[in-house]
Amino acid sequence: MTNLLASGIGNVILSVLLAVLILLAMICVHEFGHFIAGRILGFKINEFAIGFGPKLFKRKGKKHGTLFSVRAFPLGGFCAFQGEDGEEAAPDSFNSKKPWQRIIVLVSGALMNYLLAVLLIIVGFFSFGQPCYKMGAIAENPNYAAEYSLAEGDVILGIEGKTAYFATDLIYALRGKSEGDKVTVEVLREGEKTSAQVILRSDCNFKNSSEISKLWRALGSDTYKGEDGNLYWCVTSQNVRFSFFGTLGRSFVYSFKTAGAIFRVLGELLTGSLSISAMGGPVTTIKVTGAIASQGLQSFLQIAAYIGVNLAVFNLLPIPALDGSKVIFCLIEWIFRKPIPRKVEAVIHAVGFVLILGFAVIVDILQFARC
């Protein structure tokens, strides 16, 4: 009993450490993107810090005078530009630079996140292959002939001419179709690529991209009872290898699809087709990230890439306090040749920051309420 408890605690600690490592690395890469762009364009950078709180280590650069520091709490980092939060007359201060230069600096953080995510995807695909859905046991139903059903062991590569990277690709390919409709599914069957004609076993009236159960029911998957007593679909994952250029191309498409899935979820949240309780705040993010990352190197690479794309997309949204909103302010200044008063902009960003924190807390509370 004691050994089991110790093992459980050890797994939790490992998961949390892996999650913090991924988030810290992604945030530092983001800030490094700002730093590199700022340095190239001649911005004065006061400090580049890893973490928050008291300084554990610091060193000042001799050439540019930038302070490099490592702080006590490894929950992020920052790149502090001279005059970023107010008026500054010095020519190398942030707000003294031209709007297009500031825009480049602002988007460089998200760009670095995205490029790192693509690199992680490429490494994962070349090392392990692309994860694809593999059908397990197929539900027995006398109303559907075997020749018009998927077979146990089929690996789904695409459906209705659309390549399958995520379950959402399958959902959107089948959306609106009805029980009894025949669809073409590209599969890998016994090592050979083939096309299967499949009759759908239920309506595909998906309300949002999270309705995975409707998808597998329509495709005929059977279920099994887990150790916790819950029913699960007989669908697993199998890595599939492609040619060199095929793998490279699929890596980039996978990154685009990841970004697209994030925008799709945001759209569903705005339209009300997806509940806010389906989201996760900081605590939930760390919990889920750590749990996935601890499953092995491939899972670690996958979740790190997803977090990287997520940070890139989220930071470019036009929400006050985020880089995207700062880009909007720069564009307004560029178009009208006059900036919005810096104090007004600072207040808007401060309010936005508070709202984002409050929203994150509410989302986590809703998640815990569901448990």
List residues with catalytic annotation. 31
* DSSP code of residue 25: H
Please report, for residues 92, 180, 330, the alpha-carbon distance to residue 345 in angstroms, rounded to integers and kept in the order given.
20, 57, 11
- Burial string for 317-335 (b: 16+ CB within 10 Å, else e) reads eebbbbbbbbbbbbeebee
What residue ranges in 96-230 does DSSP mark as E strands?
A: 130-135, 155-159, 162-163, 182-189, 192-199, 223-225
**What's the rounded Cα separation, in Å, for the pair 311 and 66?**
26
Closest-CA residue to 120 (of 287, 242, 258): 258
The backbone torsions φ and ψ at residue 133, rounded to the nearest 5 degrees and listed phi first, read: -80, 130
Asked if 128 and 298 touch (Cβ cutoff 8 Å), the reply is: yes
Token pair recorded at residue 231: 């029913």
Asked if 32 and 307 touch (Cβ cutoff 8 Å), the reply is: no
Please report, for residues 116, 182, 271, 325, 359, the alpha-carbon distance to residue 352 in angstroms, rounded to integers and kept in the order given.
27, 49, 21, 10, 10
Amino acid at 66: T
Asked if 73 and 53 touch (Cβ cutoff 8 Å), the reply is: yes
| Segment (H or E) for 76 | strand 67-81
